[in-house]
Structure formats: structure tokens, C-alpha cells
Structure 1
Amino acid sequence: MRIAITGSTGLIGTALVRSLTADGHHVVRLVRRPPRTPDEVEWDPRRQWVDTDGLAGCEGVVHLAGAGVGDHRWTAAYKKTIRDSRVLGTAALAEALASLDTPPRVLVSGSAIGIYGDTGDRETDESTPPGHGFLADVCQEWEEAAGPAAEAGVRTVFARTGLVVARGGGAWAKLFPLFRLGLGGRLGSGSQYWSFIALHDHVAALRHLLDTGTLSGPVNLTAPRPVTNREVTAVMGRVLHRPTLCTAPAPALRLALGEMAGDVLASQRVLPRRLLDSGFSFAFPDVESAVRAALTDTR
């Protein structure tokens, strides 16, 4: 199978490329510079341009590109970067796919559980309507931007991702060093739910979305057992054999992180209802097994 991937050098993209190529698939990587190898295709999300010749013959596309939400303080300029990198890039890719004489069978387009906003301790699945706030608004626009591909008959799936448990990148990678130093602890009250997924399961789920022809629309990529931040803190301390006495009070987080603190303190108890109903099986369904898997992953 010939599969095109954006964001192929990120945490998830790198792992997905490795998994697909190991099984003999031909991966085409979209890059924002002139191609250096035959498996690269140039695109420019800001100009909304894609070299469509390089996409010819692709049966599937996985779109993962986007500026890191937690990479910088949310200034007005960086919030625009977050939005544009997702909405403009998705629109460019969707329109390029729609223009092909033979479009791919499937587009798996990145999204996030941030679309639900703060849901408290209420169980949330794909039937839950979008919430409110900056990330919820961005996610809605992000998904809507894929419209041209769906209208062209491409099966379009929105992979609404939770917190990926990995050492190599993402939010969880920032936790491991703190807890190793004995500086880890709960954030705010610790009662907020975190919906996580092990990197291994995330990659397996993306491949499941590619292969499962009955799936389209939103699919939550989160483990089936979301836990509170207080529970995460206890597990991290137990697995790493470190104390977890430090705390980060909500006012301090708001001072340090600005608007982004609202999402750190938000509660999202998200369930992967459609993923489970389609027959997907998690290798690491609970947070402790996910943390241990991240620590033993040497890639």
C-alpha cells in the first residue's frame, strides 16, 4: 500500500513511518522543502500548495502536521500559528486530494480531544458536541477544513487524539524528567481527568483507521480508562520510585502558562467508543502499563 504522511518527523509520524515500512508499505513523506529523496513530496501549507504529482497512486493519507500546542506561551501570534498550521494545511491537502484523477481511498486527518472543551467528570464520546474555548474552536475548523476530500468521495476519519504517553515528545515527555528528579506532583486540584494513550497504541489505532473501511468521521484515540491527574501522579511516583510531594497550584500555573493553563487544568474524561466498537484492542489500556511501555521503548 502506498501511503502519504504529513508530519512524518514528529513523535507520532516517526513511529508510524517505522511501523508501516517494517510491514512493507511504501511511505511517501510530505516535506516543506525541495525533495531530497524519491520518497519525499514537497508541499507548502502556508501557501496552500501541494505537489499533486507526488500523491498519484497513494491509497491512503495520514495528516499529522501542525505546530505544537505546548511549545510556546499562547500569545496572539502563536495562537494564529497553531490555528493556521492546522486549518490551512488541512485545507491545502484536502483540496489537492480532491483534485486527483484517482483520489486515495482514505484520509486519516489529525484532530484532538480538545474539541470537547472542559467536560468535568462526565464521560465523553464521539456523540458529544464540540465544547468552547480556543482549542475547541481550532479543532472544529481543523476538521471542517477536510471537507473537500470527503466531498470527493474520500473516506475521511478524524483521529481525535488524547495525551500521548511517550518519552520522545509531546506533553508527557516533559513529565518524566520532573518526576525522575523528585519534582513531580499534582497540577491544581489533581481532580481533573486526563485521557491518555500509549504511543504504541496510537500508532496501532492509526493503522486500524486506515484499514477499517466502515470508519469515518470522528474517532477518539484515547485509552479506555481515563484517570485523574492525582492518579497519574501516584503512578509516575510508584513506577519511577520517587516522591510526589510537589504541587503546582492553579494560580501559579496561570501565572506561568497564561491562557494555556486553562487546558492544563481542564478535565476531559474521553472514551474511545467507536474505536472499541470497531474491534480495536489496546495493548496498554491503563496508565501504569502505558508509562512502563514508554520507559522500556528504546527507539
Structure 2
Amino acid sequence: MRILMAGASGFLGTRLADRLTADGHRVVRLVRRPTRGADEVRWDPTSAHLDPAAVAGADAIVNLAGAGVGDKRWNAAYRALIRSSRVDSTTTLAVTIAGLPTADRPKVLLNSSAVGWYGNTGDRPVEEDAPAGNGFLADVARVWEAATRPAEDAGVRVVRLRTGLPLHRDGGLLKPQLLPFKLGIAGRLGSGRQWVPWIAMTDWLEAVRFLLDRADLAGAVNVVGPRPVTNAEFTRELAAAVHRPAVIPIPAIALKLALGGFATEALTSTRVLPGVLTRAGFTWRHPDLAGALHAALT
């Protein structure tokens, strides 16, 4: 397949592009800088610029573009960037797809979303049919997913990847935690009762490949592991994985001072289950957290 990818230089995109290329697919990367070869196409989603010829004939489009929610302390400007970087890229792709002749449209758009859609679910487990919750990330997810509508209305299969927290030592949830855990100065966040929707990186990659191929699957898909845990359980498992104690809890007030607005999301309980993937017969290589952490750290 010829796969057009946005966000190919990010934490998830880099690994997915490598995996798809290794599988024999041709990955064409959308970039904002000058191109460096035939497998790159320049675009500017902030001004909705994308050459339709670059999209025409692609078998699939994968959009993972978006500023990292945990990369910087949240202020008004960064909140705006989190939202615009997702909505602008999705809108540009969806509108461009819809404007193409039917024969030139891709068969599928896999568009990133997030489990933040559900807001704070407390101890209540939710699947893909649950409504959007409240909070900043839930609001972002609503407009982000709605931006795919032009492609969907044009008859293209659209999959909204409500991704949880992929586990890998080089980024995402694990990278900033590894040093304090290895030093034995880490612990649960706040009460520790909030649910953590994790997924092994290997399983995230496999799930995306699975969804590329499954023409019968569309709409929202929770890309998470089948057995979510609380933050307290996650803390214990990560401490065991690095062979260090984790007995210093981080109070909620300390998180708010350190992280600003992002602290509220870090303390949110999101007990998300992968209903669509489970019913479709997807098999997780690492369904348990201990195995996923071992794979992530080796």
C-alpha cells in the first residue's frame, strides 16, 4: 500500500512508519519543512495547504499530527496549540480527501484521537459507545473527531484511534518517570485511585496494522490494553520492573504546582476498555501490565 502519514516524526509516528515500511508498504511523510526526497510531501495545515495530487491515489492515510499534551506546562497559548495542531491537520486532510474524484480517494483514513474523549469516568468502565465527557481534552477530542466528517461523508472509511498511553522507554508515559523510579524517589500520583488506560507499544502498532486491513471496522476504536489498572497498581508494577521502591506519593497540590493545567488531566480516572478490538478478534501480545512493562524496558 501507498500510505500517506502525518505526524511521522513523532513518538508514535516514527515507530509506525518504520513498522509499515518493514512490512513492505510505501510510507509517504507529510512534512512542514522543505522536502528531502520522493517520500516526503510538504504541507501547511495551519493555512489548510495540501496539494490534492499528493493525496490522490494513496491507499490509506494515517494522521497522528498534534502537539504533545505532556511536553510543556499548559498555559493559554499551549492549550490553543494542542487544539489547533490536531483540528487543523485533520480538517486539511478530510477536506482534501472529500474534494478528490471518488476513484482517487484513499480507502481509509486512520485519524488519531485519544481516550481523553471520555473525561473522568471514575471507576465506571466505558467502551466506544460512551458519550464525550467534560474537561479540556474531552472538548479537544470532540472537535478533533468532528473534523474527520468531510472524509466520512465522502464515503471514505474513517477510523478514529482513541489511543491510551503507549508504553515505551523512549517516550510517552514512561520516559519522564523512569529516572525518578530508578532513583527510588517516585510514588503514586495523588490518591492513586485513578485508572490508567495503558497499552504496550507493540500492541499499539499491531492494532493500527489490524485496523488498516479490516475494511469492516470504522468509527471510534479504543486502542488500549484489555486490563486497565489504577495509578497505584501501575506504580507498584513499574517499581517492581526497575527493582526499586516507590513509596513517596506525589500530592495533587504538588502536581498542580509543577504541571499547571495538565495536572488535572494527569489525575483524571479513565477506565477505558477496547470493545471494538475485542469483538473483532484482535489478540494482544501483552495483555497484562507486567509483561508490557518488561517489553517496554528491554
Q: TM-score range by the shorter chain?
A: over 0.9
Cα distance, 1:259 vs structure 2: 1.6
What CA distance in whole angstroms lies between the structure 2 residues aligned with 1:10 and 1:166?
Answer: 13
Partner of 2:32: 32
Partner of 1:62: 62
The share of aligned pairs that are identical, in percent, is 51
Cα distance, 1:171 vs structure 2: 2.3
Partner of 2:273: 271
Q: Is 2:214 the counterpart of 1:212?
A: yes
TM-score with structure 2 setting the length: 0.97
Partner of 1:243: 245
Cα distance, 1:55 vs structure 2: 2.0
Partner of 1:293: 295
What CA distance in whole angstroms lies between the structure 2 residues aligned with 1:255 and 1:36?
Answer: 42
Name the SS for the 2:109 alignment partner.
strand
What CA distance in whole angstroms lies between the structure 2 residues aligned with 1:276 and 1:144?
Answer: 25
Q: Is the 8 A contact 1:66 1:86 kept in 2?
A: yes
Cα distance, 1:35 vs structure 2: 1.4
Partner of 2:11: 11
Give CA-to-partner distance per residue, 1:71-109, whole Å, 9 cap, x none: 111101110000000011100011111122210000000
Amino acid at match of 1:272: P
Unmatched 5+ residue regions in structure 1? none
Partner of 2:97: 97
- The size of the alignment, in residue pairs, is 296
Q: Is the 8 A contact 1:73 1:260 kept in 2?
A: yes
1:125-164 matches, within 5 Å, as 125-164=127-166
Partner of 1:86: 86
What CA distance in whole angstroms lies between the structure 1 residues aligned with 2:127 and 2:147?
Answer: 22
Cα distance, 1:34 vs structure 2: 2.2
What CA distance in whole angstroms lies between the structure 1 residues aligned with 2:41 and 2:55?
Answer: 8
Give CA-to-partner distance per residue, 1:155-196, whole Å, 9 cap, x none: 000000001111111122111122111122100011111010
Partner of 1:108: 110
What CA distance in whole angstroms lies between the structure 2 residues aligned with 1:136 and 1:256?
Answer: 22
What CA distance in whole angstroms lies between the structure 1 residues aligned with 2:253 and 2:184?
Answer: 22
Name the SS for the 1:248 alignment partner.
coil
Q: Is the 8 A contact 1:5 1:63 kept in 2?
A: yes
Amino acid at match of 1:171: L
Q: RMSD of aligned C-alpha atoms? A: 0.9
Amino acid at match of 2:17: V
TM-score with structure 1 setting the length: 0.97
Unmatched 5+ residue regions in structure 2? none
